[in-house]
Structure 1
Amino acid sequence: MNSPAPPAHAGVLIVGGGLVGASLAIALDAAGIAATLVEAAAPRIDAQPSYDERNLALARATVNGLTAIGVWPHAAAQATPIRHIHVSRAGEFGSTRIDAAKHGVDALGWTLPARELGAALLRRLDACTRLTRFAPARLESLEALADGWRARIHTAEGERVVEAALVVGADGTESFVRGQLGIGAERHDYEQTLFVATVTPERGHAGRAWERFSDQGPVALLPLAERRCGLVLTVPAEEADEVAALDDAGFVALAQQRFGWRLGRLSRPGKRHPYAIHRVAAQRLAGPRAVLVGNAAQTVHPIGAQGFNLGLRDALTLAELVAVAEDPGATELLERYAARRAPDREGTMTMSHSLVRLACLEQPMLAPLRSLALLAHDRLSPLQRKLARHGMGFRGEPPRAVLERLP
């Protein structure tokens, strides 16, 4: 009778190979740190649910970070620069405009389809030399040890046992790792559904991104290649089925009514994809020899497109700290990680939540104040600089990888 295989040893075990988990694995490999990645989906573009049809607005800091870990060269050709941002509210007079040239940069960020970023991550993962990958695989359990965790992983070849000094939960909003650690989460249902699609405007977008608020929720247009735009349309949850049932003409008419005519007539809608919108915030980021990153740590409203941008800064900060540590699961390291991420995390979550609650609130008495706030950020240089820098992903104490091209 064969004896069971002894446990494999990993310095860092990453659970979840979506956009953030894969980025962390690559960053650790680039820093010379051995890690093991467990991913539920097969390592193919069509199998990974986070490599979908969303069009991601990548902040400048994000592109800096992806460049530093060798991912961006695989994606740059499919990206479209965002040179201007225009923010307004339907029926009110205020607006804020942010121009890249005014802030001394060539672009505030770039738009990239999630599937293209996913393809770039997979290509970069294939070049990793210190990374062990289990995919498709499922984490079955975590058992605490004196100096780490014992993880039981179900794979197509049978059960594998891995012992790790640090476990990273990068497994999304309904994080299994978060539950295993006994970390609670605060939840808020925005009672909104997000539809993403592509459209072609009558007039060229000229590298401009638009965010427009209304009582029904925000709508955004993001610049894409070949004069296309990525449409992000938020509707009340009770109207989601009705919107999903619209034919293309009806859907475009709704988008046109919500966005307006600044780019002329919208046409040629692509396939629609709905997403229910929730806010989920872990009550703490770390436990004994374990830490949360990305959506496992915080899932934010997609307004302002901060989700992946925030998660990548989680991953790069953690990789930076682990790279110079003797023990990747040391309590001091995890406390340092949580402290460094707090200003960025809390500031971004507060910003996105407040925008939804205030900018989309049906309250006529707020209209003059909202317009004055937008005008102040448009006209007052200190407010504009702060808004631009936060929008580009430079907030708190960011990881060094994103500062290499800091304007």
Structure 2
Amino acid sequence: MDELHDIVIVGGGLVGSSLAIALDGCGFRVALVEAALPRVSAQPSYDERNLALARASINALQSLGVWAHIDNHATPIERIHISRRGEFGAVHLDAAKLGLPAFGAVLPARELGNALLRRLDECSALDRVVPAKVTGIFPEPDTITLTVQEDGTERRLGTRLLVGADGTESFVRGNAGIEVQRTDYAQSAFVTTLTTERALDGIAYERFTDSGPVALLPLGQHRAGLVLTMPADDADRVAALDDASFLELVHERFGYRAGRLSRPGTRKPYPLARVLANSLTAPRTVLVGNAAQTVHPLGAQGFNLGLRDALSLSELLVQAIQDDADPGSPDLLARYVQRRQPDRDATTSFSDDLVRLMGNEFLPLRVMRSLAFSALDRLPPLKRRVALRGMGFRGDVSARALSR
């Protein structure tokens, strides 16, 4: 006999786990299916991936009880410096001058993953199916049945709502027949950590160049997270560089604002593409996070956007239990789309437009870019508005994201 749930979340990554935590104890029977065995990693890695969390995301993680498990591993982003190599305009954002405590924070992805696992361990009403792999999805009139391989045995889970939080190559999305639009940026990103001669002191840098953007993120003391983007056809050459040659390339692209850079971690290229699902829903199915949209890392919107998906969906589902409503009803799914579409469209379009705009070498456009940067830097009210949008306060903001 099928194990009947109200909601099954497939994918226990950062977004799927956040959604599961938000729904714990809401009154619906919720299952989280995750392929990887949960394990807290205590050993820091010098080449680990780092996340730039928007202020709204931090608020939400505090409300979810996750932030308490992070143990002060986050570094506040208090200032942001945006520039383009070879052009005269630049934008300087200072949270204190704009009346804000901080724009967000930088956190090793490992630490957020650890915090989510610890918080999941506190969830008393959640059915965690792990390690497990979904092998089949079979829609029925009032439910969806999943076949799941767990410890060499097959389980059958029935659910009234299936949530695909299973990443860019989502099995849930493909099984639902939802097609995607793919945009290959012909770029690859190298993500690593390095040491700076001068401490960044809470400054995050975004530096645009002819070869792609470079981001340097503060990690406290003299450590920084680096995202170096370059043409895909040059990625293999860069991957083969030794540390000294790699640092020389970074200095050529970024300059010496942080002094001399040293001790780069291991790195490998990640091909960059935008992948947008043509629909966020199918019968009794909804997509969140990278299953719904995968965006360019420029602007660090990926996880922040996915978390907003999870928050919006959780609020609609909590209201549904209060109204004794079907969590997989067409009406609820339509309201989810209505709520998420403006933010999703604006964020994915902005990211895509920025990649194209900042990479265009047309001379009149270069002049216009510099003038626009200079004008923005002289208009504090506009800078505050831009900052708030970047902090995640846009559209129909979740109540959890507004909490302090």
The normalised TM-score by structure 1 is: 0.95
Any idea what SS the aligned residue of 1:13 has? strand
Which residue is equivalent to 1:163?
158
Which residue is equivalent to 1:354?
353
Any unmatched runs of 5+ in structure 2?
42-46
Trace 1:4-403 onto structure 2 (pairs within 5 A): 6-29=1-24, 31-45=26-40, 53-325=48-320, 326-403=325-402
- What is the CA–CA distance in structure 2 between the aligned matches of 1:185 and 1:63, rounded to whole Å? 30
Any unmatched runs of 5+ in structure 1?
1-5, 47-51
Aligned residues: 395
Post-superposition CA distance 1:11-61 (Å, at most 9, x none): 100011111111111111154443111111111256xxxxx9211000000
Any idea what SS the aligned residue of 1:304 has? coil
For the 8 Å contact 2:343–2:394, the answer to whether it is kept is yes
Post-superposition CA distance 1:113-153 (Å, at most 9, x none): 10111011111111111111111111111111221201111
Post-superposition CA distance 1:51-87 (Å, at most 9, x none): x921100000000011111111111511000000011
- What is the CA–CA distance in structure 2 between the aligned matches of 1:45 and 1:171, rounded to whole Å? 20
- What is the CA–CA distance in structure 1 between the aligned matches of 2:268 and 2:28, rounded to whole Å? 38
Instruction: Give the Å deviation of 1:344.
Output: 0.9
Which residue is equivalent to 1:3?
none
- What is the CA–CA distance in structure 1 between the aligned matches of 2:25 and 2:167, rounded to whole Å? 23
Which 4+ residue blocks in structure 1 deviate beyond 4 angstroms? none
The one-letter amino acid paired with 1:230 is: G
For the 8 Å contact 2:201–2:220, the answer to whether it is kept is no
Any idea what SS the aligned residue of 1:101 has? coil
- What is the CA–CA distance in structure 1 between the aligned matches of 2:151 and 2:341, rounded to whole Å? 39
The one-letter amino acid paired with 1:278 is: A
For the 8 Å contact 2:200–2:220, the answer to whether it is kept is no
- What is the CA–CA distance in structure 2 between the aligned matches of 1:32 and 1:123, rounded to whole Å? 22
- What is the CA–CA distance in structure 1 between the aligned matches of 2:88 and 2:176, rounded to whole Å? 49
The one-letter amino acid paired with 2:307 is: L
Of stretches 348-357 and 267-276 in structure 1, the one that deviates more from structure 2 is 267-276
- What is the CA–CA distance in structure 2 between the aligned matches of 1:20 and 1:401, rounded to whole Å? 15
Post-superposition CA distance 1:138-196 (Å, at most 9, x none): 11111112212011111114110011010000010011111111111000111111001
The one-letter amino acid paired with 1:186 is: Q
The one-letter amino acid paired with 1:133 is: R
Indicate how the Cα distance of structure 1 residues 305 and 30 shifts in structure 2: closer, same or farther if over 3 A, else same: farther
- What is the CA–CA distance in structure 2 between the aligned matches of 1:383 and 1:226, rounded to whole Å? 31
- What is the CA–CA distance in structure 1 between the aligned matches of 2:94 and 2:124, rounded to whole Å? 41
For the 8 Å contact 1:34–1:130, the answer to whether it is kept is yes
The normalised TM-score by structure 2 is: 0.95
- What is the CA–CA distance in structure 2 between the aligned matches of 1:125 and 1:373, rounded to whole Å? 46
- What is the CA–CA distance in structure 1 between the aligned matches of 2:395 and 2:160, rounded to whole Å? 28
Of stretches 203-212 and 262-271 in structure 1, the one that deviates more from structure 2 is 262-271
- What is the CA–CA distance in structure 1 between the aligned matches of 2:335 and 2:396, rounded to whole Å? 11
For the 8 Å contact 2:199–2:221, the answer to whether it is kept is no
Instruction: Give the Å deviation of 1:377.
Output: 2.2
Post-superposition CA distance 1:317-344 (Å, at most 9, x none): 1001101102211111111111111111
Any idea what SS the aligned residue of 1:328 has? coil
Indicate how the Cα distance of structure 1 residues 78 and 30 shifts in structure 2: closer, same or farther if over 3 A, else same: farther
The one-letter amino acid paired with 2:376 is: H
- What is the CA–CA distance in structure 2 between the aligned matches of 1:8 and 1:103, rounded to whole Å? 52
Post-superposition CA distance 1:205-260 (Å, at most 9, x none): 11000000011000000000232110110011111111111111111111111101
For the 8 Å contact 1:20–1:308, the answer to whether it is kept is yes
The one-letter amino acid paired with 1:381 is: P
The one-letter amino acid paired with 2:385 is: K
Instruction: Give the Å deviation of 1:109.
Output: 0.3
Of stretches 197-206 and 380-389 in structure 1, the one that deviates more from structure 2 is 380-389
- What is the CA–CA distance in structure 2 between the aligned matches of 1:189 and 1:358, rounded to whole Å? 16
For the 8 Å contact 2:7–2:29, the answer to whether it is kept is yes
Any idea what SS the aligned residue of 2:159 has? strand
- What is the CA–CA distance in structure 1 between the aligned matches of 2:339 and 2:50, rounded to whole Å? 29
Among all aligned residue pairs of Structure 1 and Structure 2, give the percentage whose two residues are the same amino acid.
57
The one-letter amino acid paired with 1:383 is: L
